[in-house]
Structure 1
Amino acid sequence: MREDLKRQDLEMEDVRVMAALPTKAQTCVIKNNGIFERFSHEKIVKSCLMVGAPLWASEKISSRVATTAYDGISTAEIKMLVYDQLKRVDRKIADKYKAANTMRVRTSRDTIEPFDQRKIEKTLIVETEASGEVARKIATQVWKELKKLDVEYLTAPMIREIVNTKLVENGFETLRRKYTRLGIPVYNITNLIKNGSRDNANMLHNPETVHKYVADEALKQYALLSLPDELADAHMSGDIHIHDLEFFSGRPLNCLQHDLRAFIKHGLKVDGTGDHTSIAGAPKHIGTLMNHTGEIMLAAQQNMSGGQSMSLWNVFVAPFAAGLSYDEIKQAVQMLIYNLNMAYAARGSQVPFTSMNLEFTVPDFLKNEPAYGPGGKVVGVYGDFERETRALQRAFTEELLKGDSDGKPHLFPNTIYMLRKEVLKSEFEDDIRLVHELSAKYGTSYFVNMLPKYRGNMANYMGCRTQLNDNWTGDWSKDCLRTGNLAYVTLNLPRIAYNSSSDDDVFEYLDSYMGLAEKVLMLRRKQGMHCLDDYNLLPFLTQDIDGEPYYNVDNSTLSFGFVGLNEMLLSHCGAGIQDDNARKFGLDVVKYINKRADELKKETGLRWSVLQTPAESTAYRFAMLDKERFGDKAITQGDKSAYYYTNSSHVPVNADVLLPEKIRIEEKFHPLTLGGHIFHAFMGESYADPDALMSLTNKITKNSDIGFWAYSSALSFCMKCKSLMKGLQDKCATCGEETEVEWYDRITGYVQQVGHSKSASGGWNPGKMQELRDRKRF
């Protein structure tokens, strides 16, 4: 009866409508994109029929709209006319029409589509596993909210946020976590474009870094949403720090030690498969091998989140140098150094983070190992190539000493020199002294002490400090090559002290924090296995080498890191790491972490370790969070502009201690941090004497347990006159320039540009900048 009355009502108007129809079919409609098209009765009828209107109503509504239309009417106006007419027939049909024709959605697929409530229902069911009943309930509530909006276009993020709001209002927080959209505010992107970021000192400000940071932010959010609440909360609140969150899901493996022999024997597929790139056979010339070395590092960087290194590099290259003059060897080495410093194509447009572990001669344990030469063929044993091994090391050092064409230091690769008992002889004195000239000039070289009792045949480092030893299976090759540090999580030690009233409390909190770290590390390893085996996401690492994947994940390390032992001791013991009694408690803390690592080795069959965290940003982040939370109870370095904690188990950088005392304090922790450690000797502004440094190296090597160290120099470089100066200078001593003087220093493990003298606004975060100002120079 009701529908008949509506029909009669419309029919009574029909005569008036027909009389008023335009005599010419010339009415033009302006579409949303500005294009004109002819008015179409058929389109209106069809649009009404598609939402369920009866045919008779559809035809009459079309006729009525035609009487009102004028030349130049917009499609939006026509839709509102149709909507008003449909309301007189059936309100639900009218709302459906409005949703389909008035509410347009700009989708994430870069299309504009009619709003469809069923799509919300479908995505809720697919993405969150919600029941159909719940999905319909939420979608209906969303539709009611959207009807109230007066916008020309809806967007997919806008709709999703309203859906999330309704999920929360209805108590479906678990579903909300699965359904949420990841992204970054417009303001943040604008700021990145204008100012860049200081989270990573190795990245400059350019379009690729903007892309990387935007992607990183979304991936960090994804990782935190994927983690159990307790783990995500522990990170965000600052109990622990989960490093490289942006790589947690898609690139979860941290550091890598290469085995150059694999590529000498089998050639190179930079994509891991050869499906998308050219394939290179086994190299036959040293120049080809140098090129391959750089390409290996660049290709692997696409699969790794951290640093990568090559151990025994000059030993493995030595067969290719046989018969070459020293000048030819030096030219080949120069090509590699420049390649590694100019391959400006790694993550976010940076050069690959690379290190070379160099030997002064062929180590005794390697002398009878088969030597692979040109074409991948066995050409004797490595002991046959001692002359070439020494020549390659010397050439590498001499090229680094020259600097680039302007006289600036080559910042990569980190160059790590192995000090073994067989090289502490007079015949190697000239070679070792040359390395100390490099240390005196640029402060870029590192030293590895292979004499302490905790050493075996092999120990290698992968950049900032992460390390592998032949203490896992006892096989130096399996333990130290084609594997690395899978991941590490850092414990906030000062916070443990702030929450503790006794020694027992400290160790109970330590158990709790380590428990959180264990869960994170096991989840990261699980994700790493998925990326390696299930998702085929890391093809370079999974490429076949002699029937096995190149990367041996079973030999990789899972590591506990820590920050702020000094501040923990100040809070809990009333004295810092320089105090003998307080330091004893600090050693007990690190031993306790090691004890748990050893237990986990037995429980899981995996390789657990403890390391001194390379806390480029973590020491600053923890201190700022704790100062906000604990106020004056928090004991920090720095000041209110930038607080920071002392890194790992180091002596504070501003401590008034002599270098021998600093060595005595910090050497105790190196045998306890075999996942990675470093000793910093920050040199003063005067030019260091290579012979004095060499004497100090001899004492450290023979008389201490320091395993890894560097003589770090602050440098200034004038971009105008190309003068290199010691110390952080405000102006050039040669030409007087003030605005174009660059500063360089070691940030945590590697030397990097700080910024310009007037701004000091390079990639260093405020905490590291404050630490730089606080450093006491020896």
Structure 2
Amino acid sequence: MKTELDLNDEVVALERAYYDRIDWEVQENANIDISYGGFVKFLLDKLLKKESVLLEYLPEKAVRMHFEGDIHIHKLPHSLYLPYCTGWSYKKLLLSGLVTPTMVSRPPKHADTAVSQLVSFFCTAAQEWTGAQAVSAFDLYLGAFVEHDRPSPKAVKQMLQRMLFDLNYPTRIGFQSAFTNITVLLDTNKQFLEEDAVVGGKIVGKLGDYLDEAVLVAKELFSLLIEGDALGQPFSFPIPTLMVTKNFDWEGSRWDGLTDLIFEALSKRGSAYLLNGNAAEVESLFSMCCRLTLDMEKVMNFELNSILEDVGEELRKSRGARGLWAVPDATGSIGVVTINLPRIGALSRGEWDNFISLLDERIDVAREVLRFWRGRYKQSLAKGLMPLTRRYLGHFNGHYSTVGLVGLPEAVANFLGRPSLWDELNRSEIEEAVALMKKMVAYVRKRVEEFEEEDGCLYNVEEVPAESAGTRLAILDREKFLKEFEAGEILIPGGDPAPYYSNSVIPYYASVPISLRAEWEGEVQREFTGGVIMHLFLNESPDPEALKKLARRIIENTDVIYFSFTPSISVCQKCDWHSVGVFDTCPKCGSNRIDVWSRIVGYYRPVRTWNAGKRAEFKNRATYGRESW
């Protein structure tokens, strides 16, 4: 048993590790800057994220497999008490106003108040969830207020500018920004346009009545994203998602110049994600989950039990990709347990039956943890640890239990015994690997669909971002397979001392043409039922018109569900110069005080704040320029 003296020594040692940045976990999360709040979070994580502590809560086998690196239980130690990510109903907030245990606001009557309450809601609710939060149709809901107030475009821009700055200040536990996402719909989803618009807590027609105002909101939002902050740094949050369906205004004939502005922002800032409505069946997903949100409003009237069962069944029957960044409303994930696929590939060495046996063992352990989490979070809700969630959501019926996968490219390379697979890029071998990855994901998907029927709750399979998990698991595997690693018999990218595993289908260190990357990614992405994304990393700012044509080709000709364009952005801390590209010194003033910004996983942060594994991954990324289009 640990004595008080032992604990004191440990705290002192952890303090030293934090100050000197000896432990890689000091920079585990790029959204957390060095600060007292960051130190307290690091201290809490280290003291609670221990085998002896976790054994008090979780099954012994799960704890052992986590520490040995067979699986990764995400968001520890906070996931002992709080769930992962959620989508909120903006409509519900607008109808009821922001009600917290300490302060009560009436439903907003004006546009600036509607935005202010959303910002305050996000920042407060971030203390009840360990991951991302989202709202859908931000543009349409705000459009009704713009019509009511009739503000000038400058006033709309000022209102949105306050939102962007406020959401990027470090207000969350650990001196970090709230991880937030907004969906911009416009008229891409006809069914959503029939939803109620709300002003002052009252229904004021349909969202589709305010499309012109929604276009104005979106135009001012994207113009601000192009500008960035006072230094020209990009805004990390909120991450906008653009729904791209057959109704997207590719020709720029309906949205008053917005389409050109969107692709200028993507070219200069990588400002948004694109959700491919052709591949993801967005309209049916939204109609289903809009119903779920509406049904949940009846919870207060005790009318919902049978309806929730029906909606849960609809969600279980929907096998399209879902759940990334908690889109749409009232869905999300209670938690994630990720399986270390490269290790299974290395251990099974081409024997599919062995691979499946090892995979099954880990899937079963993940299920056990996720079942425990669901019961645990219901208790957190009942005991008052989540007051906003209790009021604005009330339950987790629409939230998935998520089995995560990491390192698919390394897993197939190890399974096939071809550690140089992604360097040699033999097309027939890559196509064999893609088919094998598809088979792996499909098997996990089949298992979790069985769990849905047996457990009576939702499950999905996600390609996890793995900001820290990819590094932690690779470090453990380098130790476990040191002899094989040094002999070049297995693939662990990044080498010593900063290994990592991929969070993509086609690894970002593979120099693959965009057309083939999108084709192969799309083949496997459709097997996922949770979050999955393809990033295209840019080494220059392409012509927006050329970028628009490329985006359209990807959307209309591939099965890629979610993707981004990600230019690296260099910002001089001395003279405020900034440009797309990676620069060591400022070409304007000669200073070496340059920050390079890029997406570490889904969000932009300066590369200097990344953990060692992700910094190594950044250096190895294959990038695209104008010759790639």
Category of TM-score, reference length = shorter chain? 0.7 to 0.9
Name the residue aligned to 1:770.
Answer: 616
Q: Secondary structure at the match of 2:451?
A: helix
Name the residue aligned to 2:124.
Answer: 299
Q: How many Å separate the matches in 1 of 2:313 and 2:36?
A: 39
Q: How many Å separate the matches in 1 of 2:77 and 2:617?
A: 26
Alignment of 1:640-679 (within 5 A): 640-647=496-503, 649-679=504-534
Q: For each residue in 1:296-344, what CA deviation from the matched residue of structure 2 results, as whole angstroms up to 9, or x when unmatched?
A: 10011010000111111111121111033323322222221122123x2
1:425 positional shift: 4.7
Contact 1:610 1:675 in 2 (8 A): yes
CA spacing shift, 1:681–1:250, aligned 2, 3 Å: same
Q: How many Å separate the matches in 2 of 1:436 and 1:556?
A: 33
Q: Structure 1 counterpart of 2:63, which letter? A: A
Does residue 346 of structure 1 match 2:202? no
1:369 positional shift: 2.4
Does residue 718 of structure 1 match 2:572? yes
Does residue 571 of structure 1 match 2:402? no
Name the residue aligned to 2:46.
Answer: 217
Q: If the length of structure 1 is used for normalisation, what is the TM-score?
A: 0.70
Alignment of 1:86-485 (within 5 A): 157-158=4-5, 184-195=10-21, 197-221=26-50, 222-251=53-82, 253-269=83-99, 271=100, 274=101, 277-322=102-147, 323-342=150-169, 344-361=170-187, 363-373=189-199, 375-426=200-251, 427-428=253-254, 430-452=257-279, 454-458=281-285, 471-472=315-316, 480-485=328-333
1:224 positional shift: 4.5
One of 517, 527, 551 as aligned partner of 2:366: 517
- Runs of 4+ with >3 A deviation: 181-185, 193-196, 453-460, 468-474, 476-480, 574-578
One of 636, 649, 652 as aligned partner of 2:492: 636
Name the residue aligned to 1:541.
Answer: 389
Q: How many Å separate the matches in 2 of 1:399 and 1:220?
A: 40
1:582 positional shift: 2.4
Name the residue aligned to 1:492.
Answer: 340
Q: For each residue in 1:237-274, what CA deviation from the matched residue of structure 2 results, as whole angstroms up to 9, or x when unmatched?
A: 000000011112222x10111111111111112x3xx3
CA spacing shift, 1:183–1:330, aligned 2, 3 Å: farther
Q: Name structure 1 gaps, 5 residues minimum.
A: 1-141, 143-154, 162-180, 461-467, 756-761
Q: How many Å separate the matches in 2 of 1:183 and 1:347?
A: 25
Q: How many Å separate the matches in 1 of 2:335 and 2:286?
A: 18
Q: For each residue in 1:432-491, what CA deviation from the matched residue of structure 2 results, as whole angstroms up to 9, or x when unmatched?
A: 22111111112232111111264443469xxxxxxx9984477x9999323311111111
CA spacing shift, 1:704–1:469, aligned 2, 3 Å: farther
Contact 1:611 1:673 in 2 (8 A): yes
Q: How many Å separate the matches in 2 of 1:697 and 1:423?
A: 12
Aligned residues: 572
CA RMSD of aligned residues (A): 2.5
Q: Structure 1 counterpart of 2:153, which letter? A: Y
Q: For each residue in 1:201-250, what CA deviation from the matched residue of structure 2 results, as whole angstroms up to 9, or x when unmatched?
A: 01110111111111122232233442222111000000000001111222
Q: Structure 2 counterpart of 1:244, which letter? A: K
Q: Structure 1 counterpart of 2:604, which letter? A: V
Name the residue aligned to 2:306.
Answer: none
CA spacing shift, 1:527–1:182, aligned 2, 3 Å: farther
Contact 1:447 1:709 in 2 (8 A): yes
Q: Secondary structure at the match of 2:161?
A: helix
Q: Secondary structure at the match of 2:134?
A: strand
Q: Name structure 2 gaps, 5 residues minimum.
A: 288-311, 625-629
Q: If the length of structure 2 is used for normalisation, what is the TM-score?
A: 0.86
The structure that has the greater radius of gyration is 1
Q: How many Å separate the matches in 2 of 1:362 and 1:503?
A: 43
One of 373, 394, 400 as aligned partner of 1:557: 400
Contact 2:187 2:208 in 1 (8 A): no
Name the residue aligned to 2:598.
Answer: 745
Identity rate, percent: 27
1:773 positional shift: 0.6
Higher RCO (C-alpha under 8 Å, 6+ residues apart): 2
Q: Secondary structure at the match of 2:184?
A: strand
Does residue 692 of structure 1 match 2:540? no
Contact 1:315 1:362 in 2 (8 A): no
Contact 1:408 1:717 in 2 (8 A): yes
Name the residue aligned to 2:581.
Answer: 727
Q: How many Å separate the matches in 1 of 2:105 and 2:575?
A: 43
CA spacing shift, 1:481–1:391, aligned 2, 3 Å: same
Does residue 581 of structure 1 match 2:432? yes
